[in-house]
Amino acid sequence: MRYIVLTMLFLLAMAQPVSALEITAPEVPEGGAELMPEDTSSFGDSLLELVQKAIRAIRPDLAEASRICVAVIAAVLMIALLQSISGSVKTVSEYAGTAAVGAILLGSAGSMIRLGAETVTQISDYGKLLLPVMTTAMAAQGGITSSAALYTGTAVFNAFLTGLISGLLVPMTYLFLALAAANCATGEELLKRIRDMVKNAVSWCLKTILTVFTTYMGITGVVSGTTDAVTLKATKMTISSVVPVVGGILSDASEAVLVSAGLVKNAAGIYGILAILAVFLGPFLQIGVHYLLLKATAAVSGIFGSKRMTELIGDFSSAMGLLLAMTGSACLLLLISTVCFMKGVG
Amino acid sequence: MEALRQYVFSIVAASMISGVVMGFLQGGTVKELLKLICGLFLAFMIISPLHQLDLSDFAIPGETEKQTGQDIAAEGKELAEEAIADIIKAETEAYILDKAAQLNVELEVEVTVSMDDPPLPMAVSLSGSISPYARRRLEAILTDEIGIPKENQAWTG
């Protein structure tokens, strides 16, 4: 029995080189290791497991965010009471309200902004490891021009977006919050306009980058895919023109390597997509919970609170929305790219 | 991050100062004038640090990534060619051994594959005892069916 098992193990070990290519996706980063499914052979099951784990992990954050929102509602209620008792101290109460709401929300908003920025960096860093793997696998499958073009496009956009988010968009989110707080305290129209401009600028930047990237990937896929298809056809013609026996062997070998590269690329792509989602999903849900609860808090505060204070809570919620857009864009960029690589040679 | 904190605090402080100043005045021309001054002051506070923004951190990359992409793609192609060459070597050796077995000959075969595109068998070394008839037959198979010229067929033993 032992010999049979040993023989089988030996045969399995010998069978390994027949798969021809040994290309594997990089290990999931530490941030997503907890959510990453054990078995990634089935994409649907793995995705379901990932989402279930992420939802289970969000419960403590949900409780924390709820506590913050209750504190905010209590502060708004107290300020509203103060304003109704004595109308002459309206300005002071607006300042006090802004200070109270700002102090309660700024801590959690700061930690969410840091979380968002870290997530973008982690996704980008993982992308830098995954991209060469997908490029190698696609080139081995015959997509030499396509893989180089897709790599270039993704690497450029990835670096640009990450730099833009950490260097400009994250500071702009802080600026947005500062302007929102200042506007709430003073009611200055200029601040309101600049605040809206900052918010629109951040959204516009992200939308434009994603649109340009998607267009680039679409056009590159078609153009370079055609070039690769022609090259593959030419290679097949060359193979059929060589000596019959060798031609047959060569044809079988090429087919085996192409199929093997396709399988390897698919496996690496699925693992890569799941790893990206594992890194992304936890923080995205965390920020998303804050976003939704702040929206609800703003709605509740609107019933009894002053207009400015309700607006300030809404602005904190909008800042969370901007963070969701930033992390979502970084994730979407890599997902689109990985799917383009997986689509293969045109 | 400290600079950013300073910036945010300065805007909040400036707007609060403006709000307090505006709150003390009742109305009229002086208030209108002060409103304009406060507006300009706030606008200056917001815009002034923008000229210090370092745009070099997110400069658009390009050439390096293009070259790296081409290098990685070339590596992938090379990897595939090596894998094809390995399979061709193994399959060709198996084919020769099969033909030798049909002639009742036991041989050891080592095929060398060229690293052209596509990779092809270019030389072979065969060792073992073989009759002149079987050797002539095998030489013909190697030349006609596999395409290895006679001068690249090395016989030992």
pLDDT per residue as tens digits for the range A79-116: 888 877 766 566 777 778 888 888 889 888 989 999 99
* A183: in domain: yes
In this prediction, residue B1 carries a pLDDT of 59
Distance CA A58, CA A63 (A): 9
As a whole number of angstroms, the distance between CA B154 and CA B9 comes to 84
Tokens 């602005």, residue located: A315
Q: A141 touching B, CB under 8 A?
A: yes
Instruction: Tell whether A216 is covered by a domain.
Output: yes
Q: What is the rounded radius of gyration, in angstroms, for the C-alpha atoms of chain B?
A: 41
> Cβ separation of B80 and A149 shorter than 8 Å?
no
Q: What is the pLDDT, as a whole number, of residue A297? A: 94
**What is the average pLDDT value for chain B, to the nearest integer?**
82
Whether a cis peptide bond, with omega within 30° of 0, leads into B118 is: yes
What proportion of chain A, given as a percentage, has pLDDT over 90? 40
Residue with tokens 């060792």: B127
Find the domain containing A295 and state its range: 61-343
Task: Give the minimum alpha-carbon distance from A194 to chain B in angstroms, rounded to a whole number.
Answer: 9
Nearest to A224 by CA among A155, A152, A148, A154: A148
Contact A253 B60 (CB under 8 A): no
d(CA A135, CA B76): 7
In this predicted structure, the answer to whether residue A298 has a pLDDT above a threshold of 70 is yes
Per-residue b or e along B90-128, where b marks 16 or more CB atoms closer than 10 Å to that residue's CB: bbbbebbbebbeeeebebebebebeeeebbbbeebebee
pLDDT tens for each residue of A302-320: 888 888 889 999 999 999 9
Closest chain A residue to B91, measured at CA: A249
Q: Smallest Cβ distance to B147: which of A179, A185, A246?
A: A246
A26 found inside a domain: no
Amino acid symbol at A222? V
Give the separation between CA B30 and CA A241, rounded to whole angstroms.
94
pLDDT band (50, 70, 90) for residue A243: low
Q: How confident is the model at residue A227 (pLDDT cuts 50, 70, 90)?
A: confident
pLDDT at A181: 85
A69 domain-assigned: yes
Q: CA of A40, closest CA in chain B: separation in Å?
A: 24
Q: Per the domain annotation, does A20 fall within a domain?
A: no
Task: Note whether residue A40 is domain-resident.
Answer: no
Is B19 in contact with A138 (Cβ distance < 8 A)?
no
Enumerate residues 280 to 339 of chain A having a beta carbon within 8 A of any beta carbon in chain B. Answer: none
Which H or E run contains B156?
A: strand B153-156
Is residue A248 classed exposed, middle or buried when 0-12, 13-18 and 19+ CB atoms within 10 A define those classes?
middle
**pLDDT: is A327 or B84 the higher one?**
A327
Contact state of A186 with B22 under an 8 Å Cβ cutoff: yes
Highest mean pLDDT among A245-254, A265-274, B148-157: A265-274
Low-confidence ranges of chain B (pLDDT < 70): 1-5, 26-27, 50, 52-61, 157
Dihedrals phi, psi of A141, to nearest 5 degrees: -85, 0
Q: Which of A157, A257, A316 to mutate to test the interface with B (most CBs of B within 10 A)?
A: A257
> Does residue A89 lie within any of the structural domains?
yes
Reported as a pLDDT band with limits 50, 70 and 90, residue A1 is very low
Q: Identity (one letter) of the amino acid at A22?
A: E
Of B42 and A200, which is predicted with more confidence?
A200
The two most distant CA atoms of chain B are separated, in Å, by 122
Q: B114: number of CA atoms within 13 Å, CB side?
A: 13
Mean pLDDT of A212-234: 83
Tell me what pLDDT residue A123 has: 94
Q: Which two tokens stand for residue A134?
A: 């997908």
Residue B44 C-alpha, separation from nearest chain A C-alpha, in angstroms: 12
Q: pLDDT by residue (tens digit) across A31-89?
A: 788 888 888 888 889 999 999 999 988 888 889 899 999 999 999 898 888 877 766 56
Between the CA of residue A234 and those of A231, A239, A265, what are the distances in Å? 5, 9, 23
* β-bridge partners, B125: B110, B154
Q: Do the domain assignments include residue A222?
A: yes
- Among the partner-chain residues B11, B65, B91, the one whose CB lies closest to the CB of A152 is B65
Q: Residue A237 pLDDT > 80, yes or no?
A: no
Domains identified in chain A, total number: 1
Model confidence at A3, pLDDT cuts 50, 70, 90, reads very low
- Whether the pLDDT of residue A7 is over 50: the answer is no
Facing A254 at nearest CB: one of B43, B69, B84: B84
Per-residue pLDDT at A59: 86
CB atoms B11 and A178 under 8 Å:
yes
| pLDDT given at position A96 | 81
Q: Find which of B24, B58, B60 to mutate to test the A interface (most A CBs within 10 Å of its CB).
A: B58
Nearest Cα neighbor of A22 from A299, A251, A268 is A268
Closest Cβ–Cβ partner in B15, B65, B76 for A138: B76
ipTM over 0.85: no
Q: What residues of A are in contact with residue B74 (Cβ under 8 Å)? A: 139, 144
Contact A185 B91 (CB under 8 A): no
Predicted local distance difference test score (pLDDT) of residue A16: 38
Strands B121-127 and B153-156: parallel
Q: Measure the CA–CA gap between B73 and B85, rounded to whole angstroms.
A: 18
pLDDT of residue A33: 83
User: Which residue, chain included where needed, has tokens 């300030």?
Assistant: A312
- Predicted TM-score of the model (pTM): 0.81
Q: Are residues A137 and B76, on separate chains, in Cβ contact within 8 Å?
A: yes
Mean pLDDT score across all residues of chain A: 85
- If pLDDT is split at 50, 70 and 90, which confidence band does A322 have? very high
pLDDT at site B121: 87
